[in-house]
Amino acid sequence: MTTQASSDFEELLAVLDLRRADSSAPGVETFFGSHPTKNPVRTFGGQMMAQAFVAGSRTVPANLPPSALSAHYIAGGDPEQDLEFSVVHLRDERRFANRRVDVTQNGALLGTALISYLSGGRGLEHNVEMPDVTGPEWLPKIDDLLAGYEETVPLFVNASRPIEWRYTNDPAWIMRDKGAKLPHNRVWMKTEGPMPDDPVLHQAALVYSSDTTVLDSIITTHGLSWGHDRIFAVTMNHSVWFHRPFRFDEWVLYSTTSPVAAESRGLGTGHFFNEDGHVVATVVQEGIVKHFPSRDR
C-alpha cells in the first residue's frame, strides 16, 4: 500500500513511522513499512535503508547512538507492497549493541543491514577540512536547475523530493551541456520542513539522503550525465558511519568523490559536514555502473 500525505516531506516522515508487529519469533522484532505515493520502478534504496535503520534503532535504548550501518542489496522491492523488517538482536550490552535487519517482501529477501550502536564518550578528535564552497542561501534550488531539462532527466523532475538540495557545482546534466568534467559533487541538503526532536529520525533522513548523488562523481569524472547518456547504474552495497550528533533540518554539505571505477563497478565516497565544518557522517557506496556510448560520440 502507499502512504497518503500532503507533501513529499510529510510522506517521508510517514514512511519512517514503522508499524511494529504484535508478535515475532524469539530474538526477533518485526516492523512493517509503507511507500510514498511517488516511487521509481523499484523501491528507492535510500528509503529501504532508512526504514531498516529506524527498525533497528527502535529496539535499542535511547542512550545508545548509532556508530555504523552497512547494507547489501539483493533484490528490488515492489513499491505497491509494504516492506517487512525483521530485526535480529546480535548483541546487547550496557554501552554496545548490534542488530541485523533483514528486509523482505512476500518471503523474498530484498536486502540486509548490519547496524552497530556505541556509547563511546569523549576521546581524540580530528577532522578532514570542509571544502570551500558557497553557502546554501546563495545557491539556486533544485527546481531552478531542472528547468529546461524536463525531457532530459524526467525521473529527477518527477521524483519525490522531501530533501532540499542546493548544488555548489553544476549538476551532471548542466555540466554535460557545457562539455565539462567534474571529479566531485558537493550539495547542501536539509529536510524540506522541521523535524521532530527525535535523533533517530534525523539520522534516518541522512541515511535516506546518503543514497542520492553519491554515484554521480563516477560519471561526471568522465564528462557523462544521467539522461544525456546511456548509463545503467544499480547500488550493490552502502555503508554509513555516524561521527557526531546533528540535525538534518539544518544545512549539511554532502561532499562526494569517486576514488575508483573498474570492471563495470564504481565506488563513491563522501562526507557530510555541518555548517561549522565538522564531519558528522561518512559514506561509501559501491554500484554497478555501465556506459553504452552512442555511435556519434
Q: Which domains does the chain have, with CATH numbers?
A: 8-118 (3.10.129.10), 137-291 (3.10.129.10)
Q: Give pTM, 2 decimals.
A: 0.94
User: Sheet holding 279-291: strands in order across?
Assistant: 19-20, 28-33, 83-92, 96-105, 108-118, 66-73, 231-242, 279-291, 265-274, 252-262, 184-191, 163-167
End-to-end CA distance of the chain, in Å? Answer: 44
pLDDT value at position 4? 38
What does 140-189 look like in DSSP terms, one character per residue?
A: --HHHHHTT-TTTSHHHHTS---EEEEESS--HHHHHHTT---SEEEEEE
Q: Pull the grid cell for residue 252.
A: 549539511
pLDDT value at position 294? 74
Between CA 118 and CA 242 the distance in angstroms is 10
Helices (H), the chain: 8-15, 45-57, 142-146, 154-157, 172-177, 199-210, 216-220
105 Cβ contact list (under 8 Å, min separation 6) = 77, 78, 81, 82, 83, 84
What does 255-288 look like in DSSP terms, one character per residue?
A: EEEEEEEETTEEEEEEEEEETTS-EEEEEEEEEE
Which residue positions in the chain have pLDDT lower than 70?
Answer: 1-6, 24, 295-297
Q: How far is CA 224 from CA 46, 104, 171, 219, 258, in A?
A: 23, 35, 11, 5, 14
14 Cβ contact list (under 8 Å, min separation 6) = 3, 5, 34, 36
